[in-house]
Amino acid sequence: MAPGLYADIGKKTRDLLYKDYNTHQKFSLTTCSPHGVAITAAGTRKNESIFGELHTQIKNEKLTVDVKANSESDLLTTITVDEFGTPGLKSILSLIIPDQRSGKLELQYLNEYAGVNASVGLNSNPMVNLSGVFGSKAFSVGVDVSFDTATSNFTKYNAALSITNPDLIASLHLNNHGDSLVASYYHLVKQHSGTAVGAELSHSFSRNESTLIFGSQHLLDPQTTVKARFNNYGMASALVQHEWRPKSFITISGEVDTKAIEKSTKVGLSVVLKH
């Protein structure tokens, strides 16, 4: 629903420039039952370390229960209730075991002109977060604020705006207590081939540094996507992703520092299987 949540501002550009780029080895297997139960086993190899995760999801009408266990002995439980008492309202309860201070209650509300997200930690000195987006699908503005009740300080206050056309999306973020400015755009060049270009320019006022990254994507065929990106520091990345069956992907990606090609080449492989 328009205008969406605060996290949706600039998401198209972020997905184009960052999503699925990977320099590690990842494998994921998901099995689904006709009764709304899905079990996912995943493993990631980073350098010489291997990290594993087991994810179980149970859906029943408006109720979703997610339980994730990882190789670090953490157990994350998330309970989501859609249409919680009123249309457009969603409630989310999350808890990480054994961290007793990790409990959090979150409420999301969406309608045609606003998207609001509020969360509070379930402990004696909770962190409180509130974000809101107001406007329409064509133009929206939003704020994102976090308050630490233990120190009585605002730990985060960000602002953003977004302009959306059928084939062009532009956004502007003011982050890190006003220290960084991020401008981004996404342009769908050819819809039938999925050809799109995007760029992101970020500037830190305290360090007086700027980073520019731009990228593109193209569909070789309905099942195969190629993407590439490059930044002003000489880092170049590319990937090829093939959907060899519905919701099952194999992705090969690479990254290289063009200023030191012989030393910096990295290659990643990701396999996602679902049945």
Specify if 54 maps to a domain: yes
The model's pLDDT over 95-104, given as tens digits with 9 standing for 90+, comes to 988 777 888 9
Rounded to 5 degrees, φ, ψ at 30 are: -120, 130
The model's pLDDT over 142-187, given as tens digits with 9 standing for 90+, comes to 999 999 999 999 999 999 999 999 889 999 999 999 999 999 999 9
Specify if 115 maps to a domain: yes
How distant, in Å, are the alpha carbons of 125, 146, 147, 155 from that of 151?
9, 12, 9, 9
What range does the domain containing 169 cover? 6-274
Domain count, the chain: 1
Q: 143: closest CA among 156, 132, 154, 152? A: 132
Specify if 1 maps to a domain: no
Fill in the DSSP letter of residue 262: H
Residues 40-70: b if buried by 16+ CB within 10 A, e if exposed: bebebeeeeeeeebebebbbeeeebebbbbe
- Output the pTM of the full model: 0.91
The CATH number of whichever domain residue 32 belongs to comes to 2.40.160.10
Distance CA(110)–CA(79), nearest Å, equals 19
The model's pLDDT over 77-122, given as tens digits with 9 standing for 90+, comes to 999 999 887 888 999 999 988 777 888 999 999 999 999 999 999 9
Distance CA(36)–CA(186), nearest Å, equals 35
270: pLDDT confidence band, cut at 50, 70 and 90? very high
